[in-house]
A and B are shown apart, each in its own frame.
Chain A
Amino acid sequence: MGEGIGARVLRKEDQRFITGKGRYTDDISERDMTHGVFVRSPHAHARIRSIDASEAKNVPGFVGIVTGQDLIDGAIGNIICGWMIYSKDGSAMKAAPWKVMDPEIVRHVGQPVAFVVAETRAAAVDAAEAVTVDYEELPALTNFHHALDPGAVEVHPEAPGNLICDWQLGDEAATDDAFAKAAHVVELDLEQNRLVPNAIEPRAAIASYNVAEEHYTLNTTSQNPHVARLCLSAFYNVAPEHKLRVIAPDVGGGFGSKIYIYPEEITCLFAARVLERPVKWVADRSESFLTDAHGRDHKTKAKLALDADLKFTGLKVETIANIGAYMSLFSSATPTYLYATLLSGQYTTPNIYCNVKLVYSHTTPVDAYRGAGRPEATFVVERIVEAAARKLGVDPIELRRKNFIREFPYQTPVLMAYDPTDFDALVEKGLAHADHAGFPARRAEAERRGKLRGMGFSCYIEACGLAPSKAVGQLGGGVGQWESAEVRVNPVGTIEILTGSHSHGQGHETTFAQVVADRLGVPVGNVAIVHGDTDKIQFGMGSYGSRSGPVGMGAIARALDKVEAKAKVIAGHLMEADPSDIVIENGELKVAGTDRKLGWHEMTLAAYTAHNLPDGIEPGLTEKAFYDPANFTFPAGCFVCEVEIDPDTGITRVVRFVAVDDFGVIVNPNVVEGQVHGGLAQGIGQALYEGAYYDDAGQLLTGSYMDYCLPRADDLPSFSLDHVETPNPNNPLGVKGCGEAGAIGAPAAVINAVTDALRTEAMTMPATPEKVWRAVQAMRAPIAAE
């Protein structure tokens, strides 16, 4: 194995991070750089009567101010939603315009109103505070549960009654028929709490403008710098693509929130041109809470039909999804195509129908956050399956086994065609690691100590590796979802991989190099991964949706195919052998069955000296590939969570968490396990700790780490992980993607454990001590009454 696929190679990028030599956006300074601060709306809904910057201009160090009207006068375009969806009546979604800085009206607390630029950040803060905005406050709709009520305050006139889209998937008549014939029906009301992604590096941008070249450079915290450049050029009208370079240097986490191109980056570019000086903007954490796209926020009614043999015969799901004040880039796809298409879960349910009503509210826009639609789907399926088992008095694992899909490929009733995996093997390993058999004894022991124990399961399947471009286009996506890679082999044999994927913690500099080492036998240290710069990499779609592995590395594999083929032609020529007889092993090109061989570097040098190449073969050795996957990939797993609840305080401790996943081929187990750990922490965070709340006036009550409970080290256990490895048949490397699985599967496992301990289905996320304590009191009340 060496340093190839499957090896626990230590990360190459770590050296700079552990010595403080990382280079994040805020670490960069430009000559003559200014600093910008946004003036933001304190109101959830208000008309802007006037903006008075006269006092700000007197603040020492003031350089300039940009208002929304300036952007409109400068022909800056509106922010787009990149995925068109249609209501069940055939009408297009009702997306209202999202102006970069609306000069007339604000629709959520924190919406930018003006951008003040000064010589230092402190001066910019002072000057921004000196700007007076006269608002006419308007009534706000901040609780989306009431968005569709008759007479509700309307967020946009373009979407009457706040309804953006009344979307559906599946066969409603057939599903209703299944319920009419069902032996058992189980119903469940569910909520997906609103989350704030909270990458620890806040968003930031440094824009500069070269007057002589009429050329812009943007350093920014992006998961997908090419997509950012495309949007900034094609839609926001900042500059044509060849006049705009976007660089995403070291980026401190993303989790979805850094996919999008926000008003701040656009405004910085505009300001840099107007002021003819570089402009830096760095969000403080309060701004991150108020303006980074939030996640989840659903209200759902689900029901499951079963026949007399306890086979699932129908699933009907009705969801209201909060989109916030504006439609962000993937906001239409996340609660629809990334959600309802996974409602089959791991089961053979033949009839599924889902209706989603997407609604506006006067809150921060909501979009894809780690898992994006799939945690929501998994929560619906795995909660209702567990609830059904309890209601019908059967073992929850046995009920799942009775309904597992066992023949692949499997076409679900909700568009997806699953690739092979082995749900039984996942469950078997999960139960073994969780010591399922020993649970009754542990529960009894806890009871003797006055504590409540519960065990919960979550058997998830997800679709990632976005995705076949043709399919995405047919479903309304505005872009292709391929990935690009270029393999540059240097004359001395070292290699640069230019990738359209972007690493913001995923370890690409190591894992991508391992793919090369595996194929060509060159040391990982001789392979450099180049990413995150539109001047270096021609185009790429970036990293989100667990796509760097299946799609990004797929592109590298395809480019390596071409490199390998040409290398064999050159080596064959040099060794007077047929290229088909050449094998590449341990950094050498050998003629199979002989002792003739060439060092990798000898072949590469020959490629560049070109003194002795076969006729018709171009000098050099550099190859490029655009890889468009044939299908989504389908990681799956079995999570088992064991909790202990203190009935006196309501505090829930996760005492054991087992995650067994099938990610297909694993390139670097360290990195994959790290991804799972992080995903589990976010999933457990959603289940027990995290929740964004607005008051009725639209103020975000959870706008800092003092109020929004991000899991700390002592909130979490150490995790127990294992794998089943079913190579993905549609992927050049057999990989499936691992970045989101933990966040997708964990919430259901935790809440299933909590509700098992409390013997009630009525528990919303986050299951805070207060909610749990109240549930304990309710559970004990009848006993007390006796």
Chain B
Amino acid sequence: MSEVKLTVNGRAVTRDVEDRTLLVTLLREHLGLTGTHVGCDTSQCGACTVHIDGHAVKSCTVLAAQVDGSEVVTIEGLADGASLHPMQEAFRTHHGLQCGFCTPGMIMMGIDIVQRHSSLDEETIRKELEGNICRCTGYHNIVKAIKAAADDMAVGTPSMAAE
């Protein structure tokens, strides 16, 4: 067993977990943050993507013990009260989701993409999304949503409040 102390969505948490516990298991089963999903067992689908210290990471690839002392943000921590993050808003406005299962990972990845690129074209967004699989949308509207959110975030919306 290991004691893990970390900050999740701004809240300090401490848990004793089995050494083999994955971060995604800690989030879903120990903390009840079920918005982060598990869609595969080979770290390919990206449904479990969260932010660790500001970077998008697949939470099925890290042990909970490895993120001791880190700051983790999940899909539940993005909105500032009733006001949605521009990436969330863009996914809704552009119909960037259907069944919603891959969506939390897509949104977390989308934010990471925008943060790492000063300007974004369709080709870059598509390449950057390679680690996130969606079976419903054909990506068409996901790409549109990320582009639109990038434009919104660039004009200085106070969108990173939650981070």
Contact = CB atoms under 8 A, between A and B. Distances in A.
B95 A505 contact: no
A252 B143 contact: no
Contacts of B104: 17, 20
A481 to B, nearest CB: 24
B75 to A, nearest CB: 4
Interface string A1-32: 00000000011011111111111101100000
B36 interface: yes
Interface in B32-75: 33-42, 44-45, 47, 74-75
Given A505-B136, A705-B42, 20 more contacts: A15-B92, A16-B100, A20-B34, A27-B28, A122-B18, A200-B39, A200-B133, A201-B101, A252-B99, A286-B41, A674-B98, A674-B141, A677-B140, A682-B135, A704-B44, A706-B42, A710-B135, A712-B130, A712-B139, A718-B122
Interface size class on chain B is 35 or more
A285 B42 CA distance: 8
Given A10-B93, A671-B95, A674-B141, A285 B39 contact: yes
B39 to A, nearest CB: 4
Contacts of B123: 714
A37 to B, nearest CB: 13
User: Which of A10, A15, A704, A712 has the largest count of B CB atoms less than 10 A from its CB?
Assistant: A712
Contacts of A711: 138
Interface string B125-146: 1110110111111111111000
Interface string B18-40: 10100000001000011111111
Contacts of B74: 20
B35 A19 contact: yes
A675 B102 CA distance: 16
Kindly list the 6 A-B residue pairs having the minimum CB-CB distance in the complex, ordered from nearest. Answer: A20-B35, A252-B101, A17-B100, A505-B99, A681-B138, A705-B44
A688 B78 CA distance: 37
A242 to B, nearest CB: 31
Contacts of A706: 42, 44
B97 interface: yes
A20 B76 CA distance: 5
Given A27-B34, A285-B42, A706-B44, A18 B138 contact: no
Contacts of A252: 37, 39, 99-102
Given A200-B47, A678-B98, A713-B130, A19 B76 contact: yes
Nearest to A20: B35
B138 A712 contact: no
B98 A507 contact: yes
A714 B141 CA distance: 13
A199 interface: yes
A655 B117 CA distance: 25
B79 interface: yes
A35 to B, nearest CB: 10
Contact of B84 (A19, A670, A678, A682): A19
B138 to A, nearest CB: 3
Contacts of B39: 200-202, 252, 285
Given A20-B34, A27-B34, A704-B41, A718 B92 contact: no
Contacts of A705: 40, 42, 44-45, 133
Contact of A17 (B38, B103, B134, B140): B103
Contacts of A264: none
Interface residues of A, number: 58
A716 interface: yes
B138 A704 contact: no
B143 A713 contact: yes
Contacts of A608: none
A225 interface: no
The SS class assigned to the B binding surface is: loop
Contacts of A18: 75, 84, 88, 91-92, 97, 100, 103, 107
A199 B99 CA distance: 9
A482 interface: no
A158 to B, nearest CB: 36
A199 B38 contact: no
A505 B103 contact: no
Interface string A187-204: 000000000001111100
Contacts of B28: 26-27
Interface of B: 18, 20, 28, 33-42, 44-45, 47, 74-76, 78-79, 84, 88, 91-93, 95, 97-104, 107, 122-123, 125-127, 129-130, 132-143
User: Which of A26, A284, A678 has the largest count of B CB atoms less than 10 A from its CB?
Assistant: A678
A265 interface: no
B100 A22 contact: yes
A637 B127 CA distance: 30
User: Which of A199, A680, A711, A718 has the largest count of B CB atoms less than 10 A from its CB?
Assistant: A718
29 contacts: A17-B104, A18-B91, A19-B75, A20-B36, A22-B100, A24-B101, A199-B99, A200-B37, A201-B39, A201-B99, A202-B38, A252-B39, A285-B42, A505-B98, A507-B98, A670-B95, A674-B137, A674-B141, A678-B135, A681-B138, A681-B139, A682-B135, A705-B44, A705-B45, A711-B138, A712-B129, A713-B142, A714-B130, A716-B140
Interface string A611-650: 0000000000000000000000000000000000000000
A228 B153 CA distance: 46
A701 to B, nearest CB: 15
A11 B99 CA distance: 11
Interface in A156-196: none
B142 A200 contact: no
Given A200-B133, A285-B42, A10 B92 contact: yes
A504 interface: yes
Contacts of B79: 19
Nearest to B100: A17
A511 to B, nearest CB: 12
Interface string A708-746: 001111101011000000000000000000000010000
Contacts of B76: 19-21
Given A505-B98, A505-B136, A716-B138, A21 B44 contact: no
User: Which of B47, B78, B136 has the largest count of A CB atoms less than 10 A from its CB?
Assistant: B136
A253 interface: yes
A685 to B, nearest CB: 9
A222 to B, nearest CB: 13
A205 interface: no
Given A10-B93, A200-B47, A678-B136, A284 B99 contact: no
A773 interface: no
Given A18-B92, A22-B35, A704-B44, A122 B20 contact: yes
